[in-house]
Chain A
Amino acid sequence: MSRRLLFLLPLATLALMAGFFAWSLMAGRDPASIGSVMVGRPAPKLDLRALREGDKPLTDALLRTGKPTIVNFFASWCTPCLAEHPLFTRLAQRDGAVIIGIAWKNKPEEARAWLAKLGDPFLYAGQDFDGRTGIDWGLSGVPETYLIDGNGIVRFHFRGPITEKDVRDTILPFLKGGKP
């Protein structure tokens, strides 16, 4: 009898694995997402000099306006930022999104020149030259984008450039309904 069970072992292993695979497919999980500890928590503090000369400094108050806000960390030296830039421009112009741009480890004059060349979709723009704010926000590089609800709670965290699909499936519903 035990010999028979031994011959059933491969089949049992397969059943176990298949269960996991089916679960994984049904759950609709995104394997590319490495998760974020920021989601569901209040946004970290914001205390930055403005990127554009003459603008007021950026403070926490900007994240608690009652309106959903997008925070985007970018840099002029970052190619994926170039790729996602038109999406932010469209979000700002067509969908009226409030977008805060933060130039991360980027010389202010270079970031300004980059925005002057490509267009500036940011309602507020700050500079994080030494990257300290990036540490508070749990940044692993640029570009990264956070969706923050009207009460200042982080609701979504994109690592890497946002895509057309992200805009359609996550960002626009979030801006409309407040929840992604």
Chain B
Amino acid sequence: MIPELGHFALILALAVALVQGTLPLVGAARGDARLMALGSTAALTQALLVVIAFAALTQAYVTSDFSVANVVANSHSAKPLIYKISGVWGNHEGSMLLWALILAVFGAAVALFGANLPDTLRARVLAIQALIGVGFLAFLLFTSNPFERLSPAPADGNGLNPLLQDPGLAFHPPLLYLGYVGFSVTYAFAIAALLEGRVDPAWARWVRPWTLAAWCFLTLGIALGSWWAYYILGWGGFWFWDPVENASLMPWLAGTALLHSAIVVEKRDALKSWTVLLAILAFSLSLLGTFLVRSGVLTSVHAFAQDPARGLYILAFLLTVTGGGLALYAWRAPKLTSSGLFQPVSREGALILNNLLLCTLAATVLLGTLYPLFLDLLTGNKVSVGPPFFNATFVPICAPLFAALCVGPFLGWKRAELWPALQQLRIAFFVSVVAAIVAAVAIDSRSTLAAVAFGFGVWLIAGSLVEFASRLRLGRAPWAESMRRLRATPRAAIGMTISHAALGVVVLGAVATGAWHLEVIQTLKPGEKTRIGGYDITLVRVDNVQGPNYVAERATLDVTTGGRPFTILQPERRLFTVQRRQVAETAIHSDGLRDLYAAMGEGDPNTGWVIRLYLNPLAPWIWLGAALCAFGGFVSLSDRRLRIGAPSRRSAVQAAE
């Protein structure tokens, strides 16, 4: 009966969303306060109903209720509890339900925390949010019902895709969706602003925390996905420019641009139509990613049920949301006028450069991802666009972005001088040039490019720290004065420093791992030895082990350095018995500065096993840096000004004037 309750709650949620998506809009147009107030009540009700539906599906998974078709297709009674729970969203229907859940919860959050919004704006935002919800709920109910029953119920299920049976991937989708769906709020704010015909500094202040929250979650989600690819795919790499990875990177780039352009709207009352466009694009790119992954238009290492009928629905939905938003934009945005004039050398000038570069990056990724599709349709030629394309396009555009990133915070609003800003950065410049030279001479004299990129990583960290030090007047003012300034520094500024420096940490990790890793691929029989970068590795034995729902070959590798025992690595090759699918389980020994990474390949006792070994310098920094980057975002989010500092439109406008 519980699945039927969930199904029923979902139907009710759709009805409530329809009400929430229409009546408050009418109310906002007529100035009817009661109709507008309905939006908040409906948003909370809708969220409650979707929570009930989600809980019902979770219950079916946890108790292995095999009368529910979705549970049969994606779960198995022998599966560990955590994967029973993550199985809820490890499939098409369940992941769409998770979308709808997060969407509804974000709507409820706008209703709860949006008390300081003008009534008409809140009503319109909630209505747009609900209309997006209608799309997802209808999609669920009409094409992907997760509560469909099966009769007679089979004795056991088919099991979850083995690649998804992993702690990293269990939490990757929820984080990613929090990011994707978070941009729906920004989108709703943009549409509401276009409907109202006004974008002002107050609007930018209300949009920024939602953008920031979505951006933080998306950052964490992407980092987790990359970490997962690193240790499960067994090739030692952390980013493969796979369409699915690109699909998550594009909204991140657009969101990052939005985060920065919203500051210009807030402080200078300019760049309005551009910011609105970015808000529409960030969510549209999230939907585009979902479409690409689900429709089967592009192929990818990431497995998901692909179905053209669903693809058409998501395409129609994408067209409605994006097309509707962009049409409204084409109609209303020309009327948005900016008050400020621009000087190229100024804080806002730097932020525009940031936006240009970030959007170029997003366009590059979009082109690289879709080019094979276009070419195939137009000429029938099959190509795959991979790392060589992105290394030749994406990486060079990063260089000016990183170079300018440290300079921007030193420039004042309206009008600034470049030379004094650069002078303040001379220590950072010196340190990064030394780092690049050291890298070129000591680590790898063949790859100058890697050394330069390494220097850029150091520049990002050093430049951010110098900026923060100069903000505190560290060393130039008495210690007590610096401490007083530290306490007075807004959290948003601290967050910015953390995130900018963290980007440098990511760059260092990525460059070191990408350019300076060591790799040994060798067939070993038990008792045989190999060497990688000062470590002696002996294959001690290969055992057959029995897991809860898989059988595996487990290699035991004894690692010594200079004759002393260092560690023991046990990579596995798991065969998931229900799906007959093999998954590599790598073994990684990390000391924070480098990863010793072992993966096991094909083999048998006569010929030996293929053992792949990698020594990846600074690899942990990639994910550490990404987590730190998101942490910076959260610190910024905790800034009091973002929460309660924008009490009303009137006072905010006055403050800006």
A residues at B contact (CB < 8 Å): 3-4, 7-8, 10-11, 14-15, 17-18, 20-25, 27-29, 31-35, 77-79, 83
CA distance A161 to B299 in the complex (A): 17
Asked if B330 and A10 sit within 8 Å, CB to CB, the answer is yes
How close is B277's CB to chain A, nearest CB, in angstroms? Answer: 6
Asked if A11 and B374 sit within 8 Å, CB to CB, the answer is no
Query: Which residues in B have their C-beta under 8 angstroms from that of A20?
Result: 370, 373-374, 377
Asked if A11 and B295 sit within 8 Å, CB to CB, the answer is no
Asked if B326 and A31 sit within 8 Å, CB to CB, the answer is no
Query: Which residues in B have their C-beta under 8 angstroms from that of A29?
Result: 376-377
Query: Which residues in B have their C-beta under 8 angstroms from that of A77?
Result: 602, 604, 607
Query: Which residues in B have their C-beta under 8 angstroms from that of A31?
Result: 296-299, 373, 376
Asked if A25 and B297 sit within 8 Å, CB to CB, the answer is yes
Query: Which residues in A have their C-beta under 8 angstroms from that of B437?
Result: none
Asked if A25 and B308 sit within 8 Å, CB to CB, the answer is yes
Interface status of B621 (Cβ within 8 A of chain A): no
Asked if A14 and B377 sit within 8 Å, CB to CB, the answer is no
Give the nearest-CB partner of B322 in chain A. A14
Interface status of B334 (Cβ within 8 A of chain A): yes
CA distance A18 to B315 in the complex (A): 7
Asked if A7 and B580 sit within 8 Å, CB to CB, the answer is no
B residues at A contact (CB < 8 Å): 273, 277, 280-281, 284, 291, 295-299, 308, 311-312, 315, 318-319, 322-323, 326-327, 329-330, 333-334, 370, 373-374, 376-377, 380, 382, 384, 580, 582, 602, 604, 607
Asked if B311 and A11 sit within 8 Å, CB to CB, the answer is no
Asked if A24 and B602 sit within 8 Å, CB to CB, the answer is no
How close is A20's CB to chain B, nearest CB, in angstroms? Answer: 6
Asked if B297 and A24 sit within 8 Å, CB to CB, the answer is yes
Query: Which residues in B have their C-beta under 8 angstroms from that of A32?
Result: 299
Query: Which residues in A have their C-beta under 8 angstroms from that of B297?
Result: 21, 24-25, 31
Query: Which residues in A have their C-beta under 8 angstroms from that of B373?
Result: 20, 24, 31
Query: Which residues in A have their C-beta under 8 angstroms from that of B376?
Result: 29, 31
Per a CB cutoff under 8 Å, which of B295, B308, B318, B330 touches A18? B318
How close is B377's CB to chain A, nearest CB, in angstroms? Answer: 6
CA distance A31 to B297 in the complex (A): 6
Query: Which residues in A have their C-beta under 8 angstroms from that of B582?
Result: 79
CA distance A29 to B380 in the complex (A): 10
Query: Which residues in B have their C-beta under 8 angstroms from that of A34?
Result: 382, 384
Query: Which residues in B have their C-beta under 8 angstroms from that of A10?
Result: 277, 280-281, 326, 329-330
CA distance A23 to B333 in the complex (A): 31
Asked if B315 and A7 sit within 8 Å, CB to CB, the answer is no
CA distance A15 to B315 in the complex (A): 11
Asked if B319 and A18 sit within 8 Å, CB to CB, the answer is yes
Known: A11-B323, A21-B315, A27-B377. 9 other contacts (CB 8 A): A7-B330, A7-B333, A10-B281, A14-B284, A31-B296, A31-B298, A31-B373, A33-B382, A34-B382
9 pairs across A/B with beta carbons < 8 Å? A4-B330, A8-B330, A14-B323, A15-B323, A18-B315, A18-B319, A20-B370, A31-B376, A78-B602
Query: Which residues in B have their C-beta under 8 angstroms from that of A7?
Result: 273, 329-330, 333-334
Asked if B295 and A25 sit within 8 Å, CB to CB, the answer is yes
Query: Which residues in B have their C-beta under 8 angstroms from that of A15?
Result: 323
How close is B193's CB to chain A, nearest CB, in angstroms? Answer: 15
How close is A150's CB to chain B, nearest CB, in angstroms? Answer: 27
Per a CB cutoff under 8 Å, which of A4, A8, A25, A78 touches B315? A25
CA distance A39 to B444 in the complex (A): 47
Query: Which residues in A have their C-beta under 8 angstroms from that of B334?
Result: 3-4, 7
Asked if B326 and A25 sit within 8 Å, CB to CB, the answer is no
Q: Which 8 A-B pairs have the closest CB atoms?
A: A31-B299, A11-B326, A8-B330, A7-B330, A35-B382, A32-B299, A10-B326, A25-B311
Give the nearest-CB partner of B582 in chain A. A79
Q: Which of B284, B295, B377 has the most CB of A within 10 A?
A: B377
